[in-house]
């Protein structure tokens, strides 16, 4: 679970990086500069929210696991 605490955990995911690059390559072809920036910015906001949600879930699972292990030790 140590990696979960590392804010760069996504940077170690080759599939994530591949898909991000594919998105940015496609977005680069948007001719309208303002629209291109808005699309990229919105995608980054969505990505950030998804990251925060995933990290929160990791923390929850870690806490639940620690609680479960402690309860098994107490039995």
Indicate the SS3 state at residue 47: helix
Q: Which tens digits make up the pLDDT trace of 28-59?
A: 999 999 999 999 999 999 999 999 999 999 99
Summarised one tens digit per residue, pLDDT across range 9-31 is 788 889 999 999 999 999 999 99
Structural domains in the chain (count) = 1
Domain hosting 16: range is 2-74
Considering the entire predicted model, what is its pTM?
0.71
């Amino acid at each position: 679970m140590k990696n979960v605490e590392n804010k760069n955990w996504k940077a170690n995911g080759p599939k994530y990086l591949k898909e991000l690059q594919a998105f940015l390559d496609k977005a680069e072809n948007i001719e309208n500069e303002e629209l291109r920036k808005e699309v990229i910015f919105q995608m980054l906001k969505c990505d950030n929210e998804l990251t925060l949600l995933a990290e929160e879930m990791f923390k929850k699972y870690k806490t639940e696991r620690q609680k479960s292990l402690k309860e098994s030790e107490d039995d």
